[in-house]
Structure 1
Amino acid sequence: MGEKISKKVYAAILATGLMSFSGVLVETAMNVAFPTLMKQFGLATNTVQWMTSIYLLVISVIVPLSAVLKSSFKTKQLFVTANLLFFTGLLLDGLAPNFAILLLGRGIQGLGTGIALPLMFNIILEQVPAERIGIMMGFGNLITGVAPALGPTFGGLIINSLGWRYVFFFLMPLIILSLILGLYGIQQKSKIVKIKPDFLSIIFIAVLFGGVIYGFSNLSSSKLQSNLLPIFIGLCALGFLLGRSKKLDQPILHFEILKNKSFSVHLLGFLLMQLCSLGNAFLLPNYVQLVNGGTATLAGLVTMPAGIIGAAMSVVGGRLYDAKGARLPMITGVSLMAVELISFACLSQHMSNLVICLVYIIYMTGMGMTVGSIMTNGLASLKPSQSAQGNAFLNTIQQFAGAIGTSLTSAIVAFSQSQYGSKGAYPTAIGTQHAFIFLAVLAVCLWLMFYKNVKTEGESK
């Protein structure tokens, strides 16, 4: 059956995966806490969602540096730094006296996750035999994929029984376990070649993501012109970044790999999928609470079965990829995602908790089958020397799209609430329906793109 995977490689993947797991667990657990935080701090929906957006924004700025960091520092050094940063962020959030400190802690967690997240996939690409990369990418996504399943329930139970601060305290032992596994398992396989990151490029990346995310996050809270300006500034920063990168021998992001059509299609598909997924994860727990009048714990229990099934399906998708190629898991998976979003777009003014639970399973089954195959097949279209850069692009897009997905869907809901002058059940249901219509359109576009461009077995591998 080919070369074996060592225990140390498994430990290294588990160590880095646990950090990503913890990041997603906090994110989804705190999504359930949004109504609680809104009451405690007297904030609107689109303000509280910065709990997610600031975290994803920081990751979006750090992840593009991953290829430079991987080349310049030992993997174990990067992991330990990331681990300690994440632990510090958890401690700060657990003790936060106000919302500003809460956001600061989330930002520090983003620094840790931004460093750690690409490490897992880099380890898989470097240290796993080619014929088993699909299944190991599935295993890596299984670790992180369990988090959205457990997060809402974990968050609901903790918030209702002990308070939202304990969401952060309870994750500290997991981060310590991750540190122990990483110290044991992470090995250095690539040579260290010091690359000095271009400071001006980092500034452009920060302005790009900051401007776009800020603009989208405030779409419903002020005049349109005031939100278009930061988006415009962000897009200008992208132009400057592209121009700057062409002049550098060692740019932070090698944009020439986007000339590879297959990789670009997978990258765009990954963006659309994350928009849909984070939007879904924001809308459903809030619907259970604000429209159906459920508790935070109930919101978690309603979404948990789908998350567990989705995580398990990531391994199934990996096996299908190794055995049959990319087309079968990707087309099947995206079809299921589109079915769920179209169904919720039709039903979302009148959805019972049971309907939400059952229909959401369809989406998470599809997403689980698809996510690892998109990443693996996209990276397979690149030269081995471009893998770290391709990984940087994929992880950057994943976090950036997640932030935009949360921002857009929360803005659509908040806009409806402001039109009716209430955050009650009916305005929230109307806003949720509009948001699902938007996500359903994205899912149909994603299906059409993959149907046309993803090759049959053997052609793209």
Structure 2
Amino acid sequence: MVLNTDEDYPQMGLNSKENKFSVNKNNTKKILFVLLLGGFMSMLSETALSIVFPHIMLQYNISAGTVQWLTTIYVLVSGIVFLISAFLIERFSTRKLFMSSMIFLIIGTIVSGVSSNFPVLFAGRVIQAVGTGILVPLIFNTILILIPRQKQGLVMGLVSLVILSAPMFAPVFMGFLMGFMDWHWFFLLVLVFFIATAVLGLSFLKNVTEVTRPKLDILSVILAAVGFGGIIMGFSGLGDYGLSLNVILPLIIGIVSLIIFAARQLTMEHPLLDLHVFKYPFFTIGIIINVINVMVVFAVVIILPMYMQNGLGTTSFVASLVMLPGSILNCLLPLLAGHIYDRHGPKIIVSSGLAVMCISMIFLSNLSVSTTLAAVLIINCGLYIGSALLMSPNQTNTLGNLDSKHYASGSAIMTSLQQMGGAIGSSLFVSFMSFGQHSYLQNIITPDPAQQISALISGVNFSFLIGAIILAFVFLLSLFLKKEVHA
């Protein structure tokens, strides 16, 4: 329903003075501007640090497996908050949720900006992630309420472009800043925008949802958090510790927690997530494709800059420029992919995208010290083209073929697992890289700088080779996709 006048509110249950307002065209534009500005800046913070990981590793004397947690924890925590987003939106007013998200983002940005060691920076990232986890679902929910159905596709496309472009352009922005100042200054610049967004929100944002008193199953949230956290923690230590207790124990705890979580959801009258949607093959295959796609892209976003800076000796800014064309293509091509999907269905476009990604990963698994930046740019563009071709059609096919009663759970599962996929991809593939490095150096007692570089590149190649193998398997799964498969 579109809210246009005060008379709409008795029907919606929004009858308090706090909620009554006239949503005209001008109000809607102001509300969307405030929400999108906050969403863009929050997502900008998600991946900005990946381009300066080599600097942070040197400054704080930490390993690649440790530094990747700065991105992994952000994605993990925001994903956990996504799981309870429906509860939060029903329980609290729009203004309260928005201002809460801004407070978390402002505090987290300040903590990150003044950090002088890894634990403090890590804590700042956790606080920021909570704010992002609250804000992003609020943006999409508000749009569904304010925008007429016949215009929702266009507006949702615009919002997706803004939200998805931020993580892509963040490393480029950070790389540019590194040419003039220390990476800490990024957080000061972002802080200014967050404060401005909070002030604008106080002025323009109105309550557009009905506040109820839903119940939240705390145990389910804890089980999900422990489950995903344990799995990610186990994978992140794989490269440094091998199959030791430090890896096996978190994995076991994580897997057992997720099994209990799933069993609980399947037996509850009002589950946090309706897992019965996995009985549909098209949904299960679609989720697997989506998660693997995000895992690989996040891995490349983190590992490829490390290769360029530590292996080829480029600056952060140059490395970010090499990544830029692929990011642009990734933002623009979904429109073409959607058109192809509408005409030919999911199999052709999704399978083609996976094939292009797989071929690109094979090329990335053969990098060397003599590989040119132009070659890296072209290969990276190929990877992003493949990802852009499959992402939107796969999501449309996965959710669009569900019964309407499963839309909410299907959407929550996809967005949450997408975030978890990014976190798992970051930790798992960096562990593969570390494993490859250690294998190269195991018989070298005192490696010289050239051998250290060779070890790094060997680890990068091994990690990307594993990615190519996984993509080849998922490509085979995509051949079973069909359109308009309803239960």
The TM-score with structure 1 as length reference comes to 0.89
Q: Distance in 2 between matches of 1:9 and 1:271?
A: 34
Structure 2 counterpart of 1:92: 111
- 1:391–1:128: structure 2 CA closer, same or farther, 3 Å change rule? farther
Q: Distance in 1 between matches of 2:279 and 2:144?
A: 22
CA contact (8 A) 2:436 2:463 kept: no
- Determine helix, strand or coil for the equivalent of 2:215: coil
Q: Distance in 1 between matches of 2:151 and 2:306?
A: 39
Per the TM alignment, residue 13 of structure 1 is displaced from its structure 2 partner at its CA by 5.3
Unaligned runs of 5+ in 1: none
Unaligned runs of 5+ in 2: 1-23, 442-446
Per the TM alignment, residue 302 of structure 1 is displaced from its structure 2 partner at its CA by 0.9
Match runs of 1:37-436 below 5 Å: 37-125=56-144, 135-176=154-195, 178-179=197-198, 191-226=210-245, 227-321=247-341, 326-327=346-347, 329-347=349-367, 350-421=370-441, 424-436=452-464
- Determine helix, strand or coil for the equivalent of 1:221: helix
- 1:391–1:121: structure 2 CA closer, same or farther, 3 Å change rule? farther
- Determine helix, strand or coil for the equivalent of 1:204: helix
Q: Distance in 2 between matches of 1:366 and 1:79?
A: 35
Q: Distance in 2 between matches of 1:71 and 1:319?
A: 35
- Determine helix, strand or coil for the equivalent of 1:274: helix
- Determine helix, strand or coil for the equivalent of 2:179: helix
CA offsets 1:432-460 (integer angstroms, 9 cap, x no match): 111111111222223222232132xx667
Q: Distance in 1 between matches of 2:347 and 2:196?
A: 37
- Determine helix, strand or coil for the equivalent of 1:163: coil
Q: Distance in 2 between matches of 1:21 and 1:446?
A: 31
Per the TM alignment, residue 95 of structure 1 is displaced from its structure 2 partner at its CA by 0.9
- 1:199–1:245: structure 2 CA closer, same or farther, 3 Å change rule? same
- 1:21–1:316: structure 2 CA closer, same or farther, 3 Å change rule? farther
Please report the RMSD computed on the Cα atoms of aligned residues, expressed in angstroms: 2.9
Q: Distance in 2 between matches of 1:170 and 1:343?
A: 37
Percent identity, please: 29
Whether 1:26 aligns to 2:64 is no
CA contact (8 A) 1:209 1:400 kept: yes
* Relative contact order, higher structure (CA 8 A, sep 6+): 1
Q: Distance in 1 between matches of 2:220 and 2:229?
A: 14
CA contact (8 A) 1:302 1:357 kept: yes
Higher deviation after alignment, 188-197 or 48-57: 188-197
Higher deviation after alignment, 133-142 or 337-346: 133-142
CA offsets 1:193-240 (integer angstroms, 9 cap, x no match): 322211211221121011111101111222413101111111111122
- Determine helix, strand or coil for the equivalent of 1:220: helix
Structure 1 counterpart of 2:12: none
Q: Distance in 1 between matches of 2:199 and 2:394?
A: 31
Higher deviation after alignment, 156-165 or 117-126: 117-126
CA offsets 1:307-364 (integer angstroms, 9 cap, x no match): 1121122343345556665455434433332232222124456522111112211222
- 1:247–1:46: structure 2 CA closer, same or farther, 3 Å change rule? same
1:446 to 451, 469, 474: 474
Give 1:54's aligned amino acid.
I
- 1:214–1:279: structure 2 CA closer, same or farther, 3 Å change rule? same
Q: Distance in 1 between matches of 2:109 and 2:433?
A: 29
Per the TM alignment, residue 287 of structure 1 is displaced from its structure 2 partner at its CA by 0.8
Give 2:252's aligned amino acid.
F
CA offsets 1:10-30 (integer angstroms, 9 cap, x no match): 665554444443344333321
The TM-score with structure 2 as length reference comes to 0.85
- 1:22–1:447: structure 2 CA closer, same or farther, 3 Å change rule? farther
> What number of residue pairs does the alignment pair up?
456
Give 2:385's aligned amino acid.
T
- 1:272–1:223: structure 2 CA closer, same or farther, 3 Å change rule? closer
